[in-house]
A and B are shown apart, each in its own frame.
Chain A
Amino acid sequence: MSDTLKIGDQELGSRLFLGTGKFSSTQAMIEAVKASGTELVTVALRRFNRAQAEDDLYGPLAELKTVRLMPNTSGAMNAKEAIRAAMLGRELSKSPFVKLEIHPNPHHLLPDPIETYEAAIELVKQDFLVLPYIPADPVLAKRLEDIGCAAVMPLGAAIGTGKGLSTADMIKIIVCDANVPVVVDAGLRAPSEAACAMEMGCDAVLVNSAIAAAENPAAMGGAFKTGVEAGRAARLAGLMPTSEVAVASSPLTSFLSNDD
């Protein structure tokens, strides 16, 4: 059965998106990308420096023919800067996707919802497929959907913390109300958490630190692939209802204690 993820007019065969930061080397990142089966990876913009030419990921990623790029707006402190970063990213990537992220406070890196909303309005007008990184706020998620964002990306926990789905209850509400894909972005540490997000009805997850900072990033990329696929399959299969009291799965006939 085909189970492609549709974001705007784009179709993706994998529901695992990967960030490319924090890897020990470009080679380690490429191996993790391949093992994960992802078809969408994020990249950031940085000033050109001839002395650090090996950090330029355009070439290595362009060789992965099944992978599309989603430039992020990391570093933007406000809507104006994010719009500028998005324009630069599209100019270079020729990709319609943009991960809109505006987190001005380096202490917690939590998204600025007001600037994010303002930037999203303009980027939608400019025909981007806007995927905003947001607090797990159902009202904001709905407002971003209403103005034309192609998906919403609520955080599971703060970036790089590995605290998992600490916002699970709010994400469930977002999923319940959303008419666009919901992607859990940030906070995940274990493939079981990715599976859990998919079982909750999320459409995809975006993972970076959990894979890049693993002892074996390629193996962890493969493990997240399996987790996402298992969670998605379980969602489609339909989880059994829960019960407050035990419901026997074996017959409780009393033949063993029959004294007659």
Chain B
Amino acid sequence: MKLTVNGETHEHTGNGTIDALLEELGANKAHTALMVNGNVIASEDWKNTALNENDEVEMLVFVGGG
């Protein structure tokens, strides 16, 4: 499934859930916030949220900031 993840094209080969995408990309789920097509998806919904072809996914982490 073709997705755009953090602005770059990504071919997802898992089962199409957000959980599967995060595992595929090696992200620490407890440290990640996520949006799909501009909508914030709560972590408790990741297991059951199905991604669709051409979805735009933003994966974010906390970094230093003032």
Contact = CB atoms under 8 A, between A and B. Distances in A.
A138 B40 CA distance: 34
Interface of A: 19-23, 29, 42-50, 55-59, 61, 69, 71-72, 74, 84, 87-89, 91-93, 159, 186, 206, 208-209
Given A50-B27, A91-B33, A159 B61 contact: no
21 contacts: A19-B66, A21-B66, A23-B64, A43-B63, A43-B65, A44-B63, A44-B64, A46-B62, A47-B7, A47-B60, A48-B61, A50-B25, A55-B61, A58-B31, A59-B31, A71-B62, A74-B66, A89-B33, A91-B33, A92-B60, A92-B62
Contacts of A93: 62
B12 to A, nearest CB: 15
Interface in B3-52: 6-7, 25-28, 30-35, 38, 40, 42-43
Nearest to A60: B62
B-side interface mostly: mixed
A124 B25 CA distance: 35
A93 B40 CA distance: 14
A91 B63 contact: no
Given A22-B66, A91-B43, A209-B66, A46 B31 contact: no
Contact of B65 (A42, A58, A88, A186): A42
Interface of B: 6-7, 25-28, 30-35, 38, 40, 42-43, 58-66
Contacts of B60: 45-48, 88, 92
Contact of A48 (B6, B30, B66): B6
Contacts of B26: 50
B62 A69 contact: yes
Given A84-B38, A91-B42, A48 B27 contact: yes
A94 to B, nearest CB: 10
Given A88-B40, A91-B42, A19 B65 contact: yes
A59 B32 CA distance: 11
Contacts of A57: 62-64
B40 A87 contact: yes
A58 B61 contact: yes
Contacts of A21: 64-66
Contacts of A43: 62-65
A97 B1 CA distance: 37
B34 to A, nearest CB: 8
A191 to B, nearest CB: 17
A145 B32 CA distance: 32
A231 B58 CA distance: 43
A208 B38 CA distance: 30
B66 A46 contact: no
A72 B65 contact: yes
